Amino acid sequence: MSRSTLEQWRMFRAVVEHGGFAQAAEAIHKSQSSINHAVHKLQDQLDLQLLEVVGRKAQLTDAGELMLRRAGQLIDQAEQLETIAESLAQGDEPELRVAIDEVYPQHCLAEALEHLSTEFPYTRVELVETVLSGGAERLLQGDVDLLVAGEVPQGFLGEALMDVEFIAVSNPEHTLQTLQRPLNLQDLASERQIVVRDSATGQRIDSGWLGAEQRWTVSHVATSITMITRGMGFAWLPVTRIGDELASGRLRELPLERGARRRASLFLTYADPDKAGPATCRLGQLLIKSAANSSGFD
């Protein structure tokens, strides 16, 4: 069982920080006698001299310097614990689970989470990046509190968040770019198409595949972008993720006769709006705001 108390360590630190017992008493609004008693009792309990009087001023011993550093860590942790308890008592969630479709602009997501971390520093965030119906599946399973995805699961109400444009692209040196004419379905079917796999574990949506014989399937949009920029195929990719590649010329839009560009909507859906805590509601607001301010490019 501990022989010392947190309050004793607080008084000991105050004496050192403020340069004496009288100064510490004035700073922390305690009587000088109570501080004197607490510090001397602390030394007796530990059988260790922490302070020594030099002239009219109390100074740290070598042992006292070490104990002060460790005591400071202990006091700071206790104060943080009290702050966390106060936050939880006010209704802040200890953890926030959110699923975000990978086509949501990454800089918007980072901006929203940065603001959230400042306003709710003690709420942990579990972020799952999903594709197609994977996020909706997690919401239906009760695994997330907030969802940004291209569909609103049946039985829920979603709020329109933003439209995302998809463009058929390839490396500028790809065979399709050298034909020097509008491309048709037959042209595409003879080339390798890179498709991003639906992240759902149950029934998956097979979206965007044209029936190309050389279909390659990957799990993440970033993987698809890397492959396309290296000339390994073509794909419809979200403008929210390839702004830099288009601007630098590493990717080029394919000259299709029709259907080169597609649009998809993203929606914000709460698992239970009535039970959503302040951090969940705030993140929803931040995601909406970031999306509204986005130019559509990273």
The residue behind tokens 């914000």 is 268
Higher pLDDT, 58 or 183: 183
The answer on pLDDT for 196 being more than 60 is yes
Percent of the chain's residues with pLDDT above 70: 89
pLDDT score of 247: 96
Number of H helices, E strands in the chain: 10, 11
pLDDT score of 209: 54
CATH number of 6-89: 1.10.10.10
Pairing of strands 261-270, 158-170: antiparallel
Mention the CATH class of domain 95-161+265-293. alpha beta
* 187 pLDDT tier (thresholds 50, 70, 90): very high
Crossing angle between the packed helical segments 106-119 and 278-293, to the nearest 10 degrees: 140
pLDDT score of 6: 82
Q: What DSSP assignment string belongs to 163-182?
A: EEEEEEEE-TTSGGGGS-S-
Query: What tens digit of pLDDT does each residue of 21-54 get?
Result: 888 888 888 888 888 888 888 888 888 888 887 7
Pairing of strands 158-170, 252-253: antiparallel
Note whether 95-161+265-293 and 162-264 share their fold. yes
Q: What is the average per-residue pLDDT within 161-172?
A: 96
pLDDT score of 76: 79
Query: What tens digit of pLDDT does each residue of 234-290 get?
Result: 999 999 999 999 999 999 999 999 999 999 999 999 999 888 889 999 999 999 999
Q: What share of the chain is helix, strand, coil (3-state, %, to 5)?
A: 45, 20, 35
Query: How far is 121 from 243, CA to CA, in rounded Å?
Result: 32
Cβ-in-10-Å burial (0-12, 13-18, 19+) of 277 comes to middle
Q: In the predicted model, what is the mean pLDDT of the chain?
A: 87
Query: How far is 36 from 24, CA to CA, in rounded Å?
Result: 10
pLDDT score of 205: 61
Query: How far is 298 from 243, CA to CA, in rounded Å?
Result: 6
Cβ-in-10-Å burial (0-12, 13-18, 19+) of 278 comes to middle
CATH number of 162-264: 3.40.190.290
Query: What tens digit of pLDDT does each residue of 51-61 get?
Result: 887 776 778 88
Q: What is the average per-residue pLDDT within 51-78?
A: 81
The answer on pLDDT for 17 being more than 80 is yes
Q: pTM of the full predicted structure?
A: 0.68
pLDDT score of 296: 42
Tell me the domain boundaries of the chain.
Answer: 6-89, 95-161+265-293, 162-264
pLDDT score of 9: 85
Question: What residue ranges in the chain does DSSP mark as E strands?
Answer: 51-54, 57-60, 95-101, 124-130, 146-149, 158-170, 194-196, 216-218, 235-238, 252-253, 261-270
Cβ-in-10-Å burial (0-12, 13-18, 19+) of 293 comes to exposed
pLDDT score of 297: 37
Query: What tens digit of pLDDT does each residue of 205-240 get?
Result: 655 555 556 889 999 999 999 999 999 999 999 999
